[in-house]
Amino acid sequence: MAVKRDMSDSGITTEVSRPFSNPIPLAAGRFYYDRAQRSSTTSMTNGHYHNMYEIYFLAAGRCRYFIENKLFEVEAGDLVLIPHGTIHKTIYQNTATDRHLLNFSASYIPPSLLSEIRLLFEQTIYRPSNALLPDITAIFGKIAAEHGKADAYSKLLLCSYMTELFSLLLRNPSGNRAGSKADTPIEAATRYISANYPSPLTLEQVAAQSNLSPSYFSRLFKSTTGFGFKEYLTLLRLKQAQSLLSDTNMSICEIAYECGFNDSNYFSSVFRGFHNVSPLNYRKQKRTEP
């Protein structure tokens, strides 16, 4: 089932899929697994960011992944490693795909491996050898079989499978690392947006920075990143607002202006539309979390 939210003023139209049935209770940490097989007619998924780590395993097909300011080509067998708080979007082309997706909180990372795992996630794309691929596939199979049981042993088993996966990746460094595509005007534009999002940026202004016409820039931005210009700008602003709400005592009004929203009521409306909670209640929730 998918719930579609259309926030036309913010430029965000997202399809929030809800494939993660029976999540393990928050007290035990958060862990979600999903598998999706797509036909060649599927184009792209919604872009987002979240406060969990993500591992995307492409078992078959190919796609592009836009992660922060870089575009990656992903092939069958690749794992995409996404740190928490990272804006990302999968862009599917005219090919059938089969992918596994994991979202998990830090409690599923062995404390003794935390520093090594953080370095591993900086790699972004892990391309296993042909000899290693069956072992990785088998681990995802065990995770799929265990996920959703949510009994007294679930977290213990899932943690063990994640430890097995991490140990396998760390023991066998990716010998053929997939880098991002050659730097493009759109990647340069996203870096410019990231550096200037508090300002009243317009599509015309950013297009001029790229020496492109606004209409061509808009089409190229969408086809390259999967995001509309305004959608991407709003996501950046919301992401920063989320951080300020959690980590500072700034007022809602101050945060709105700090993040590029010129009206605090409009900011609250957009934030609520995206997060299903007001900025004030989001701050209260974050400060009562264990």
Domain residue ranges in the chain: 2-19+27-171, 185-288
Q: Is beta strand 31-38 parallel, antiparallel or unpaired with respect to 2-7? A: unpaired
Q: Which two tokens stand for residue 205?
A: 């202004």
* Backbone CA torsion sign across 17, 21, 27, 28: negative
pLDDT of residue 150: 74
Residues of the chain with pLDDT under 50: 1-28
Q: Which two tokens stand for residue 197?
A: 């999002």
Backbone angles phi, psi at 247, to 5 degrees: -110, -5
> Do the Cβ atoms of 80 and 74 come closer than 8 Å?
yes
User: If you count them, how many residues does the chain have?
Assistant: 290
pLDDT of residue 44: 54
pLDDT of residue 27: 36
pLDDT of residue 8: 40
pLDDT of residue 193: 95
> Do the Cβ atoms of 53 and 85 come closer than 8 Å?
no
- Using CA atoms, how far apart are residues 116 and 88, in angstroms rounded to an integer? 22
**CATH fourth-level superfamily of 185-288:** Homeodomain-like (1.10.10.60)
Q: How many CB atoms lie within 10 A of CB 209?
A: 15
* Backbone CA torsion sign across 62, 66, 70, 71: positive
State pLDDT tens for residues 191-232: 999 999 999 999 999 999 999 999 999 999 998 888 899 999
pLDDT of residue 175: 61
- Give yes or no on whether 2-19+27-171 and 185-288 have one common fold: no
> Do the Cβ atoms of 14 and 277 come closer than 8 Å?
no
CATH number 2.60.120.280 is the correct assignment for the domain at 2-19+27-171: yes
Backbone angles phi, psi at 5, to 5 degrees: -115, 130
State pLDDT tens for residues 115-133: 999 999 999 999 999 999 9
